[in-house]
Structure 1
Amino acid sequence: MASRKLISSGSPFESQIGYSRAVVSGDCVFVSGCTGYDYKTGIISSDVVEQTEQTFLNISAALSEAGAEMKDVVRVRYILPDRRDFEKCWPILQKYLGDVRPAATMIQAGLMEEVMKIEVEVTARKTVS
Structure 2
Amino acid sequence: MAHRTGSRVFSGGLWEERYGYARAVVAGPWVIVSGCTAAAGGGVLHEGDAYRQALTSFGVALDAIGKAGLSPHDVVRVRYYVIDDEHYDEVGRAHAELFGEVRPACTGVRVAGLIDPRMLVEVEVEAYREARADQVPGDSQETRNGT
Bigger radius of gyration: 2
The Cα shift of 1:88 comes to 1.7
| Matched pairs, number | 125
The answer to whether the Cα contact below 8 Å between 1:38 and 1:54 also exists between their aligned partners in 2 is no
Instruction: Report if aligned partners of 2:70, 2:127 keep a CA contact under 8 Å in 1.
Output: yes
**Deviation sequence 1:58-109 (CA, Å, 0-9, x none):** 1111011000111101111010111211112222111111011111111111
Helix, strand or coil at the partner of 2:76: strand
Q: Percent identity?
A: 36
Partner of 1:23: 25
Determine if the alignment matches structure 1 residue 107 to structure 2 residue 109. Answer: yes
The answer for unaligned runs of 5 or more in structure 2 is 1-5, 133-147
Partner deviation per Cα, 1:33-80 (whole Å, 9 max, x = no partner): 1001246x8551111111111112111110110001111011110101
Any stretches of 5+ residues in structure 1 without a counterpart?
A: none
Alpha-carbon shift at residue 127 of structure 1 (Å)? 5.1
Q: TM-score, normalised by structure 1?
A: 0.89
Q: Which residue of 1 aligns with 2:84?
A: 82
Asked if structure 1 preserves the Cα contact closer than 8 Å seen for 2:30 and 2:126, the reply is: yes
Q: Which sits farther off after the overlay, 106-115 or 30-39?
A: 30-39
Indicate which of 29, 33, 51 corresponds to 1:49.
Answer: 51
Does the CA-based 8 Å contact 2:13-2:40 persist in structure 1? no
Query: Distance between the aligned counterparts of 2:60 and 2:114, measured in 1?
Result: 17
The 3-state SS of whatever aligns with 1:95 is helix
